A and B are shown apart, each in its own frame.
Chain A
């Protein structure tokens, strides 16, 4: 795989690098790919009056998105699908440009919920969003060299936790569980978030024995979500580790649900 602008190949890394007799790779380090995820626990968002919700919609939605919400049979779900994709797209934006602030109406979800236009940069993101039961989840992704790459293989895990008291810890435990089931070696605390001098947090990465891999993390209410970009050859490992879980598959995006 070609690295952006360098002409070098971006090497996959993972378990195969640790065990020389096993060439299997797990993660891809694709410097041109940005992705983000988000999950919304709808029970956490059901307490607004209709008047306040109307103000809320007009605060975060463009005129086109207001029309989209109004055209959907379940307006609340449409709103939270829009929110989940805006948040996902912003995480992807922020991975490239940490100076960007989250201005809700700069990122516009398109009808069909399959893309998000970034009006600030003029770029767009591919997107997937699904409402299921009492929650909504989504991912957004973009590659600067879209013509050079296959569709990215993004795998997401959604879990419901019993107690919503420490969701940051629940996310860490989810990542550890995922890496364990992927048979990947990892340190005690695999999630790393660097920060600037002013305290601004960088997007999270997985600190693994052979390098760092981007990861997107989300939690809300009692739901936690992790998204990673994996090498397509990891698919049998995913099937081994998560064969008993419900899956939602959209192109080369796999969502593994334990909710």
Chain B
């Protein structure tokens, strides 16, 4: 799967949880999911589960806690698909 396709799917998954829609629209690899997109920490778990479902992958706890930015999410998923 191409990086852009993964990025688009990641942003679509993040969409409903991102309170800062402006930051979502301008998201880049460096965008922090919690502080820039203003996703509540409890929703990070939903997002990890949604990544597993969307990309048919398994994400271990030690991998999930490194998903701080959009770019980190894309890289982690790209390495698995």
Contacts and interface: CB of A to CB of B under 8 A. Distances in A.
Interface string B27-38: 000001001001
Interface of A: 40, 44-45, 48, 52, 55-56, 59-60, 83, 87, 101-105, 168, 199, 201, 220
Contacts of A220: 40, 42
A90 B8 CA distance: 31
Given A52-B49, A56-B49, A199 B61 contact: no
16 contacts: A44-B40, A48-B46, A56-B46, A59-B48, A60-B45, A83-B42, A101-B65, A102-B41, A103-B61, A103-B62, A103-B65, A105-B61, A199-B32, A201-B35, A220-B40, A220-B42
Interface residues of B, number: 14
Contacts of A60: 45
Nearest to B34: A201
Contacts of A59: 45, 48-49
Interface string B20-63: 00000000000010010010111001101100000000000110
Nearest to A56: B45
B4 interface: no
A64 B38 CA distance: 31
Contacts of B66: 101
Contacts of A87: 41-42
A36 to B, nearest CB: 12
Contacts of B48: 59
Given A59-B45, A101-B65, 16 more contacts: A44-B40, A55-B49, A56-B45, A56-B46, A60-B45, A83-B42, A87-B41, A87-B42, A102-B65, A103-B61, A103-B62, A103-B65, A104-B45, A104-B61, A105-B61, A201-B35
The 7 closest A-B pairs by CB, nearest first: A101-B65, A103-B61, A59-B45, A103-B65, A56-B45, A55-B49, A60-B45
Contacts of A40: 42
A213 B45 CA distance: 31
A128 B77 CA distance: 38
Contacts of B46: 48, 52, 56
Contacts of B35: 201
